[in-house]
């Protein structure tokens, strides 16, 4: 198999522990505008299109502008209390960047909540491209977002990997013809994914990190010495 030159990450349940925040935000809007709340499975069933579409379906077009403003406001204000990145994710992303791997995000989230999430997590700078649910016509499990990444980077299918926690991530990767790593450390679709045909499964960030470092070895930095180019001892470039 060819080595990976591009890795595409989902966000919720993969990079960030945001499920509780998403459930709370949807129910904040539902209670205010509909006088009811939804169970986590009922909210999960709304996933696929970005929040803008889901909220409009809930409250209708007339209340949409006010409701989506409330959604964004609650999501951003309560992020520090209800969400965080998974421990060890920073180290994985940093390592991949040092290895020269192109990194992208493909998420079903809308553009605004994606921006809020990546900024709050402090990981925006790691990604060369972000494709959100706002940026595609066909939402997950369609592979449109993956194809956008491959085209933008000029990456062959055999050099790309999708990393996600949901059934939709697996289906999108399969449609795109790329390998997929199912991460199960906080997956709401864990039972279904365990029964799917995936290339790799990981139950913790630590397990995933060990595999990444074994699969994608860091390239030694080079230094010039008397006209000869050789690896440095400290891993830094010296001239």
For the segment 108-149, what is each residue's pLDDT rounded down to a tens digit? 999 999 999 999 999 999 999 999 999 999 999 999 999 999
- Helix ranges (H only) for the chain are 19-34, 40-44, 51-59, 61-77, 79-82, 89-98, 111-121, 144-153, 167-176, 190-194, 205-215
Read off the pLDDT of residues 147-159 as tens digits, 9 standing for 90 and up: 999 999 999 999 9
46 and 104 within one domain: no
Q: Is the pLDDT of residue 48 over 90?
A: no
Q: What is the reported pLDDT for 187? A: 85
Q: pLDDT: is 164 or 221 the higher one?
A: 164
CATH of the domain at 161: 3.40.50.1000
145 and 101 within one domain: yes
Could you tell me the residue range of the domain that residue 114 belongs to?
Answer: 6-16+83-215
Q: What is the reported pLDDT for 224? A: 43
Q: What is the reported pLDDT for 217? A: 84
Mean pLDDT, rounded, for 185-202: 92
Q: Which residues are catalytic, by number?
A: 10
The number of distinct structural domains making up the chain is 2
Residue 153 lies in a domain: yes
């Amino acid at each position: 198999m060819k080595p990976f030159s591009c890795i595409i990450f989902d966000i919720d349940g993969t990079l960030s522990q945001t499920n509780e925040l998403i459930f709370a935000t949807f129910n904040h809007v539902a209670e205010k505008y509909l006088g009811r709340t939804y169970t986590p499975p009922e909210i999960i069933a709304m996933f696929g299109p970005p929040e803008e579409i889901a909220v409009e379906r809930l409250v209708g077009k007339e209340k949409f502008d006010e409701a989506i403003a409330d959604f964004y406001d609650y999501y951003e204000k309560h992020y520090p209390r209800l969400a965080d990145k998974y421990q060890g994710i920073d180290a994985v992303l940093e390592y991949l960047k040092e290895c020269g791997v192109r990194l992208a995000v493909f998420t079903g989230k809308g553009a605004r909540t994606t921006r809020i999430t990546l900024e709050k997590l402090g990981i925006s700078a790691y990604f060369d491209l972000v494709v959100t649910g706002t940026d595609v016509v066909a939402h997950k499990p369609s592979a449109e977002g993956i194809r956008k990444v491959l085209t933008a980077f000029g990456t062959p299918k055999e050099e790309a990997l999708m990393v996600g926690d949901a059934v939709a991530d697996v289906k999108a990767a399969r449609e795109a013809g790329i390998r997929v790593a199912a991460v199960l450390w906080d997956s709401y679709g864990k039972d279904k994914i365990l029964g799917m045909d995936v290339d790799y499964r990981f139950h913790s960030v630590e397990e995933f990190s060990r595999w990444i470092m074994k699969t994608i070895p860091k390239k030694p930095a080079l230094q010039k010495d008397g006209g000869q180019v050789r690896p440095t001892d400290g891993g830094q470039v010296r001239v």
